[in-house]
Chain A
Amino acid sequence: MSSRKYWWLPEFITRHVLIALVLGGMAGIGFMVFLIEFDHYTSSEAFCTTCHSMNLAADPYRRSAHFLPTSGVRATCGDCHVSPGVFAATWDHFLGGKDLFRQMFGANYDDPVVNALHTPEAAFSAREWFRRNDSHTCRRCHVQEAIVGKRADTLAIHNEDTKGKTCIDCHINLVHRKVPARETFKREAWNRMIEDEFDLSHGTADRLLRQ
């Protein structure tokens, strides 16, 4: 019989090691809880719209079916724009830091005109992100096999005509300001539209973009 009190433990687990393990474990759990809570909070509409510029993106969202669905299941910013899984979510938030950087040191995105002028590029890169990830955030809620729809063809199309495609390939312009596909986007026409919308003189948009 050993004189060690915790004789059933291996010998290298000394008392100090044990304390370190317990503390480390608790710290680890705490860290994970922190990450989960951090991701949860930073994925919320309340957090995203602390930047004024994001309110301009949130405005059309608040009128969209993703904000006010008949089912009552509301998708918030992070549900679509932050990857599932705590590590992927943390990584997305880390990358998202560049938005904060640009908000502080870039163009004046708080200005509705400047914001609208830059919206297409934002839309293109968001769509690219969805495409790269096989629309994984859409699939959080929407299960392709379960898309039955109200018309018979909805089911048939989602079964038969979606090969090689991902949600975002067809379903764009659902939530935010409508922007054409990148391939056929015409900057000239967009600038003129924004000038008309805000009652600006011809060429103002191009000048603002150069700044």
Chain B
Amino acid sequence: MTLRLFAALCLLSGSTFAAKVTLSKDNWGHPAGKECVSCHTKSSAGITGQWKGSAHAKAGVNCMDCHKASIDDPDAITHEGQTIATVVSPKDCGRCHTTEEEQQRGSVHAEAVAVIKERMPAMVTNLAGPAIEAAGCAQCHGSTVKLMATGKLDPNTWPNSGIGRINPDGSRGSCSSCHGRHTFSKAQARQPQACVRCHSGPDSPDKEVYEASKHGMAFESNREHMNLLGETWVAGKDYTVAPTCATCHMGAAGKLPSTHDVGMRNAWNLNTPVSERQHLVVFKDGGKRELPESMKAPKRGSRVPKMDGSEGEIKMVATPQRRRQAMTLVCRECHGKEFAEAFMKQFDAVVHLYNEKFGKPAQAIMQELYSRKLLTPTPFDEPIELTYWELWHDEGARARHGASMMSPNHAWWEGMYVVGRNFYGRFLPQLREVAGADAEALIESHIGSLEQHAWLKSPEKTSPILGVGRPWSPDE
């Protein structure tokens, strides 16, 4: 079992250490690179300065090695006699960093545009406008970089370093999202700050959750012992004081290999109206997709639709249990097995609580409101639609993320408390307005039988919490 797990993890990941570039040095050191540096040291000293201190510069990798393009490339431009492209895509980085490129291909990061494709029209067109797509959504999820016939990149889609950026060469992703250009620092990507730009805010407060957790506390107090500049960075070997985002979601730990597929170790899908554990399907061509646990895990060699709709042959499937085991291996570098498993139990219990008490009933009620035509199909033209959206997308996600990464504040006050407040204080009252006379029957049919909502049926039970009445005792 352990052996099979390890084999599966190796398939999904690379070596135990960050993959060394194995190509010969003939593959870089473009002769024109010197001229780029000469001029750009004057015209844009910042980026050349960053590059000069980078591992790339030390290895002799220059501007042209990453920016060179062939004349047929859609985004090729002629610059000082050289054919170059402004956008450096994962395909370009993958010329040398093959393992990392393969791992990130098809990952939840690389597919970050597809993840929100269905949400975009309602968000951008109804709630906001196209300006917010470029400055908001696309800055994290990635833009679809468009070219103008003048050879320039369309300013509506560039600059952009969103993690799922769809590049002119068709590749998806942006390595510079975490490895800021032009330092490409390992140390930077190993720190939680690398993730903060996107994993923060009301709907994905991972920064806030991490900072409020014991892990974040340990990191802040022991930063100098994190060995962030280490050639290898294996938890439990090269550092022991704290885990960062990268440690648990990507890093090598003990025998667990590192991976650039950041979602690989996640058993749950937490940013959905209702959470479900997910299989991770890896296709022969390197593509990936998730399938809910309620579907039987497809067999190796069978064919299932890929994210883009075309059919793919399955190379392997990692079940949610396997993915959870991988994550737990990281925990085990510091914590005992029972400790780690008990924590996971607490986390799973919060997800179930959210699902069963709020997520599923609210989703079913909304579906019924639409099917009974009590709501227009257009999103966000009725207040209850905003309430429901925030219920799962904002506070619902906060509660689940808070529990997953140990911020008590986000699990409860910023999370489940707000879920409850909105469910009882906004969602149900708005539902009564929308459904009128049918409302009570509708509510009864969806939450009437749920033990967790039974307290609503005892309106006489007082509590001093609101400063009135006498203390309620469980004996009553």
Residues of A within 8 A of B (CB): 152-153, 156-157, 160-161, 165, 169-170, 173, 178-186, 189-190, 192-194
Contact among A157, A169, A181, A190 for B149, CB-based, below 8 A: A190
Is B78 a contact partner of A186 (Cβ separation < 8 A)? Answer: no
Which residue of chain A is the closest to B84 with respect to CB atoms? A184
CB-CB under 8 A from A194, the residues of chain B are 149
Contact among B76, B81, B150, B151 for A169, CB-based, below 8 A: B81
CB-CB under 8 A from B38, the residues of chain A are 160-161
Is B76 a contact partner of A193 (Cβ separation < 8 A)? Answer: no
Inter-chain CA distance A152–B43, complex, in Å, is 9
Is B74 a contact partner of A193 (Cβ separation < 8 A)? Answer: no
Contact among B43, B71, B148, B150 for A153, CB-based, below 8 A: B43
CB-CB under 8 A from A165, the residues of chain B are 80
Which residue of chain B is the closest to A189 with respect to CB atoms? B149
Interface size on B, residues (CB 8 A): 20
Closest 9 CB pairs of A and B: A153-B42, A181-B78, A180-B151, A193-B149, A189-B149, A161-B39, A190-B149, A184-B76, A178-B150
How far does the Cβ of B316 sit from chain A's closest Cβ, in whole Å? Answer: 41
Q: Convert B67-109 into 0s and 1s, putting 1 for each residue whose CB lies closer than 8 angstroms to a CB of A.
A: 0000100101110110100000000000000000000000000
Inter-chain CA distance A86–B27, complex, in Å, is 54
Which of B81, B83, B152 has its CB near the most chain A CB atoms (within 10 A)?
A: B81
Is B39 a contact partner of A183 (Cβ separation < 8 A)? Answer: no
Given known contacts A153-B42, A156-B42, A161-B38, is B83 in contact with A189 (CB within 8 Å)?
no
B440 proximal to A (CB < 8 A): no
Is B78 a contact partner of A184 (Cβ separation < 8 A)? Answer: yes
CB-CB under 8 A from A189, the residues of chain B are 74, 147, 149
Given known contacts A181-B78, A183-B83, A184-B77, is B43 in contact with A157 (CB within 8 Å)?
yes
Given known contacts A181-B78, A184-B71, is B148 in contact with A193 (CB within 8 Å)?
yes
B382 proximal to A (CB < 8 A): no
B 10-60 contacts with A by CB, 8 A: 35, 38-39, 42-43, 45
Inter-chain CA distance A183–B70, complex, in Å, is 10
Inter-chain CA distance A184–B81, complex, in Å, is 11
Inter-chain CA distance A184–B74, complex, in Å, is 9
CB-CB under 8 A from A180, the residues of chain B are 77-78, 149-151
Inter-chain CA distance A152–B39, complex, in Å, is 12
CB-CB under 8 A from A179, the residues of chain B are 150
B 129-163 contacts with A by CB, 8 A: 147-152
Inter-chain CA distance A132–B456, complex, in Å, is 87
Is B149 a contact partner of A192 (Cβ separation < 8 A)? Answer: yes
Which residue of chain A is the closest to B69 with respect to CB atoms? A184
Given known contacts A160-B38, A161-B35, is B152 in contact with A181 (CB within 8 Å)?
no
Is A181 a contact partner of B151 (Cβ separation < 8 A)? Answer: yes
CB-CB under 8 A from B80, the residues of chain A are 165, 169-170
CB-CB under 8 A from A178, the residues of chain B are 150, 152
